Structure 1
Amino acid sequence: MANHLYDALFGRHAGSEADFLIAPDGARTTYRAFLADAARYAHALRGAGLAPGDRVALQLEKSAHMLAVIAGAIRAGIVFLPLNTAYTPAEVAYFVGNSGARLLLADSARADALAPVAGDCGAALMTLDPDGSGSFANLAAGQAEDFPAEPCGPDTLAALLYTSGTTGRSKGAMMSHANLLSNAEVLVDAWRFTSADVLLHALPIFHTHGLFVATNVALLAGCPMIFLPKFDTETVIRLLPKATTMMGVPTFYTRLLDDPRLNRDLVSGMRLFVSGSAPLLAETHRKWEDRTGHRILERYGMTETNMNTSNPYDGDRRAGTVGLPLPGIELKVCDAAGHPVREGEIGVIEVRGPNVFKGYWQMPEKTREELRGNGFFITGDLGQIDADGYVSIVGRGKDLIITGGFNVYPKEIEMALDARPGVLESAVIGVPHPDFGEAVVAVVVPEKGAKLDPDALRQEIAAELAAFKRPKHIAIVTDLPRNTMGKVQKNLLRDSYAPLFRG
């Protein structure tokens, strides 16, 4: 049996002297050199006592070495858990304990804090730094540059990706070899990637977007990546002329728009800008097109499914929508019982396809709650589909506000607020209210130099919204809390404003 994922992504490049990774300073790593590192790390994983099917947790800063460890794990049939670098030792303890990881790889700077975690969980702790030093690197040094790939079929577990856990304990989404490969194959075709591309990669690789979308697409296409440790406006501005494509979160685009050097000449060699992981404001779409001549392609995905929809490469890229279901993926908008709603009505998005995960690790009841017997996954996202088949995301089901018995969808109010002069962005939440159950609260960020009056804002949007939808309180703030992928953390806002209408 072949190794389904490794052979398709990495094995195809065996012996290739073509460039794979380009560092910010211009240093280049060929596919051959990268695969040699991956083989040494595969040997090191086995040397650390891990067998096929065992788990390795990685809380590492983004680097070529971290990526090579992941390639080595796939090659050795070992399941990997990439962990957000912002997680605290207490959070890491949950992931390592829940997954039963036998090895925790961390940066040297975190070793002391994570040693008790590894000890309590019965895992070994080893270090690997971005420069390739550390105890795990020492174990890999001198190992052979080849490793017989472990036989793994399409349904073999490849990775555990833990959800953000904003509404309870994080869940480990089980991603198979087929889940990851099928999605990458669809995206290469949908977004027209070829070996002639150069992908500017500034996303983290502990997340679906940076790892399973950006990296896997580049591997399948055989194109090099300019591999940045993180997004930095100055560095991205400098390197954009050397790239043809970029994938980012909305924050990338708003920060670049703040730089006067962003113009059509700077991006004349680019063919595609992709945005995801958080909603992109229609205003950002418009400004980007005005400044660069490019229309950003927005898509929709999540931890459990990778990518589900995309605006078309050729055709109408509609601001405010996430496009059409990708080939091979079924998407429907349903009521609570799972019955499709009528065209244009709001409901819960459900998806089915080869991209959909195999269930939650050690959570069979939660798996049965969210993964129907017919293969449809209940995403928890509220959306609607228009007459042309374009999908719009209204919000998360948990963000639905029920005030005085009426349903209020935050997105509708946010769009009304965001369209007002001087408003940069907004977030609408529901907070406890003694009379209405929940009250609508808007948290608004002004544009630079703008002065916003909450009462005036309320009056301006009154003509567009029914009385029960209008915010009972508008707060003006300097910024909104976000996670590392740019998503607004509405749970933190709800906590902050929960006392607003109490006594």
Structure 2
Amino acid sequence: MHAAHASTPGGGRHPTTEMRMLRDNLRRCAEHYPDKIAFHQGERTITWSEIYRRSLALAGALQARGVRPGDRVAILAKECIEIYEHFFACMIIGAVRVGVNWRYSSREMLHVLKNSSVTVCVVQDKCWPLIEPRNDEFKALSIDIIGLGVGHGFDTDYELLIEKAPELVATDFDENAPLLHTYTSGATAHPKAVILSHKAILTEITYAPHYYGISANDRYYMPAQSAWVAVVGGLFGLASGSGTIIPTDVFDVGDCVDDINRHKATVALLVPAMIPAVLDYLKENDLSLPSLHTIAYGSAPTTPALIRRTTDTLGVNLVQLYGMTECVAWACFLQPDDHRRALAGEEHILRSSGRFAAFIDYKICNDDGEEVPAGEAGVIYLKGDTIMSGYLNQPEETAGVLNADGWLKTNDIGRIDKNGFVYLLDRRNFLINTGGVNVFPAQVEAVLAENEIVSESSVVGVPHPRWGEAVIAAIVLRNGVQLSDEDCIAQLNAHCVENLSKQECPKHFIFMNELPRTITGKLQKRDLKLYISENVKLPWDE
């Protein structure tokens, strides 16, 4: 398809054409709301006109360093406004934005850089020590490094690049061109990249804010980590010029309350594990959140007791979110009126994930891909403009979930009732959701298998009072291992910390002579979880 655009990056207009481009939204926000705050970060703020100016300058600097449409430009940084300048610069010139999760192990970070064939990477000063242990391997990639922050030690400085940037050269590319490689845990030993296009992200940004309750004059508190697809939530302001509040570095409950009150946030995103922490902090410090009118909570349903406590304490609207990286995060919403119905007596509604949005199609199918009768359980399939282009460098895995007609097989098991409410019955073959972060057991098991004392392992999620679920590893030791349980645990902990993210690291180990299996040898994770619940005293059990 020939690329056609409504504007050039610098603001000049072409005649009206068919194609809508995400970068045009940024230009319009800068033109229409030049003095309006686009982002708040602690004491820092930046207007739409200023972030557009800086993003154009960074885009020009990247072009001067050889970046062309389709090239991959990464960033390794904790939460800061520059993350969005970097995203916008990639968006303007057609480069692919790659977020490197600073919570990853250094091995996983290197995998991301290699897998995406990154040519340029912005590295924040406080994040360099995280990858420095593999400095030789990092240097071997010959990536052009741009240092961000005071004392980063690199030859090229982010601020100087923006200050001395050459004039931007207008570029054309298709709306279906990739804009984002977002890494998600997979069934292998390494994270896998989901490819999302300009069109997919524009569609999400155009429609999703309405379901959150975000309008032009709202200020949205978005604490989710921006290295993965959640960064799209930080772009919601592109839909109407609304403002976004981000944390400094990482989420902290005290800073969260301070930021919401300082910047008078009206809408906030919180995972269920954050909500009780915020409520407890408010009570302990005799504080309130008077500006908030809506809290959106994602990743997992929560309990009726917590819903009632939240509404009684804060008097806010509540919106539950369900989705996945492969459809640009959110596609299903349990609206405020649905919560009120549930609290008024229809409590079963809280067990649902809401109803699918108007920008997505769905169907429920059996194992053969055939639609099942209404109300019956099956695999959820989704279709629409927000669906991913595929998995990077994994054509077979892409073909396994994305068919020729554009339907995405989610591998989530669910049913839809007569009123359209979605009830999830299982999450992706024992996917673990801990503190709002998805952990695939197979990825943890693959790392455990590399340790010399492990014969085999099975990783499951068990209930945790704070994080929803905790990662537990059942281990069968190799024959001849003479270490005590304490020494084994110490060795496994060290191995996991080196090779997994914090959320993926098991919170408890149990040792078994054999793992539960069927007569055909298939591992029985349900039986393992039952065994743990009936026989294992966990540290957080009362």
Q: What's the TM-score, normalizing by structure 2?
A: 0.72
Q: Measure the CA separation in 2 of the matches of 1:85 and 1:281.
A: 31
Q: Per-residue displacement from partner, 1:286-335 (whole Å, max 9, x unpaired)? A: 32122222342111111111221111255456422211111121122222
Residue 10 of structure 1: which of 17, 26, 29 is its match?
26
Q: Measure the CA separation in 2 of the matches of 1:340 and 1:430.
A: 36
Partner of 1:269: 291
Identity level (%) = 22
Partner of 2:539: 477
- What amino acid is aligned across from residue 222 of structure 1 in structure 2? G
Rate the CA distance shift 1:235–1:182 in 2: closer, same or farther, 3 A.
same
Q: Does 1:190 align with 2:211?
A: yes
Partner of 1:124: 144
Partner of 1:438: 524
CA shift, 1:169, in A, is 3.3
Matches within 5 A, 1:27-42: 27-42=44-59
Residue 337 of structure 1: which of 358, 368, 371 is its match?
368
Q: Is the contact between residue 60 and residue 169 of structure 2 (CA under 8 Å) also seen in structure 1?
A: no
Q: Per-residue displacement from partner, 1:232-272 (whole Å, max 9, x unpaired)? A: 21122223331101012122212112224389982332221
Partner of 1:485: none
Q: Per-residue displacement from partner, 1:31-76 (whole Å, max 9, x unpaired)? A: 1111121112112212322111111122111111121011111111
Q: Is the contact between residue 440 and residue 471 of structure 1 (CA under 8 Å) also seen in structure 2?
A: no
Q: Is the contact between residue 333 and residue 350 of structure 1 (CA under 8 Å) also seen in structure 2?
A: yes
Partner of 1:308: 331
Q: Does 1:24 align with 2:50?
A: no
- What amino acid is aligned across from residue 98 of structure 1 in structure 2? N
Rate the CA distance shift 1:145–1:316 in 2: closer, same or farther, 3 A.
farther
Residue 223 of structure 2: which of 192, 195, 202 is its match?
202
Rate the CA distance shift 1:34–1:430 in 2: closer, same or farther, 3 A.
closer
Rate the CA distance shift 1:138–1:190 in 2: closer, same or farther, 3 A.
closer
Rate the CA distance shift 1:97–1:244 in 2: closer, same or farther, 3 A.
same
Rate the CA distance shift 1:227–1:328 in 2: closer, same or farther, 3 A.
closer
- What amino acid is aligned across from residue 392 of structure 1 in structure 2? Y
Higher RCO structure (Cα 8 Å, ≥6 apart): 2
Q: Measure the CA separation in 1 of the matches of 2:28 and 2:313.
A: 39
- Which stretch has the larger CA shift, 297-306 or 344-353? 344-353
Rate the CA distance shift 1:19–1:348 in 2: closer, same or farther, 3 A.
same
Rate the CA distance shift 1:258–1:131 in 2: closer, same or farther, 3 A.
farther
User: What 5-or-longer segments of structure 1 have no aligned partner?
Assistant: 402-413, 444-467, 480-503
Q: Does 1:233 align with 2:249?
A: no
Residue 120 of structure 2: which of 76, 87, 103 is its match?
103
Q: Measure the CA separation in 2 of the matches of 1:42 and 1:224.
A: 23
* Structure 2 counterpart SS, 1:285: helix
Q: Does 1:328 align with 2:352?
A: no
- What amino acid is aligned across from residue 390 of structure 1 in structure 2? F
Rate the CA distance shift 1:478–1:167 in 2: closer, same or farther, 3 A.
farther
Partner of 1:248: 270
Rate the CA distance shift 1:46–1:400 in 2: closer, same or farther, 3 A.
closer
- What amino acid is aligned across from residue 124 of structure 1 in structure 2? D
CA shift, 1:139, in A, is 4.8
Q: Considering only aligned residues, what root-mean-square deviation do their CA atoms show, in Å?
A: 3.4
Q: Per-residue displacement from partner, 1:422-460 (whole Å, max 9, x unpaired)? A: 9995569897315785264687xxxxxxxxxxxxxxxxx
User: What is the aligned residue count?
Assistant: 437
Q: Is the contact between residue 75 and residue 123 of structure 2 (CA under 8 Å) also seen in structure 1?
A: yes
Q: Measure the CA separation in 2 of the matches of 1:21 and 1:478.
A: 39
Q: Measure the CA separation in 2 of the matches of 1:429 and 1:340.
A: 36
CA shift, 1:84, in A, is 1.0
* Structure 2 counterpart SS, 1:304: helix
Q: Measure the CA separation in 1 of the matches of 2:149 and 2:278.
A: 29
Matches within 5 A, 1:34-53: 34-53=51-70
Matches within 5 A, 1:78-477: 78-109=95-126, 110=128, 112-113=132-133, 115-129=135-149, 135-144=156-165, 147-165=168-186, 167-209=188-230, 211-212=231-232, 214-229=233-248, 230-241=250-261, 242-261=264-283, 266-306=288-328, 307-316=330-339, 318-399=349-430, 425=468, 432-433=515-516, 438=524, 440=526, 471-473=533-535, 475-477=537-539
Q: Measure the CA separation in 2 of the matches of 1:124 and 1:302.
A: 32
Residue 59 of structure 1: which of 71, 76, 81 is its match?
76
- What amino acid is aligned across from residue 185 of structure 1 in structure 2? T
Rate the CA distance shift 1:19–1:295 in 2: closer, same or farther, 3 A.
closer
Rate the CA distance shift 1:190–1:263 in 2: closer, same or farther, 3 A.
farther
* Structure 1 counterpart SS, 2:85: helix
Q: Measure the CA separation in 1 of the matches of 2:93 and 2:123.
A: 20
Q: Is the contact between residue 413 and residue 428 of structure 2 (CA under 8 Å) also seen in structure 1?
A: yes
* Structure 2 counterpart SS, 1:159: strand
Q: Per-residue displacement from partner, 1:189-244 (whole Å, max 9, x unpaired)? A: 333422210112222211222x11x2221221211122212222112222333110
Q: Per-residue displacement from partner, 1:319-353 (whole Å, max 9, x unpaired)? A: 22211111121122222111223444332211111
Rate the CA distance shift 1:87–1:48 in 2: closer, same or farther, 3 A.
farther
Q: Measure the CA separation in 1 of the matches of 2:372 and 2:209.
A: 32
Q: Is the contact between residue 264 and residue 292 of structure 1 (CA under 8 Å) also seen in structure 2?
A: no
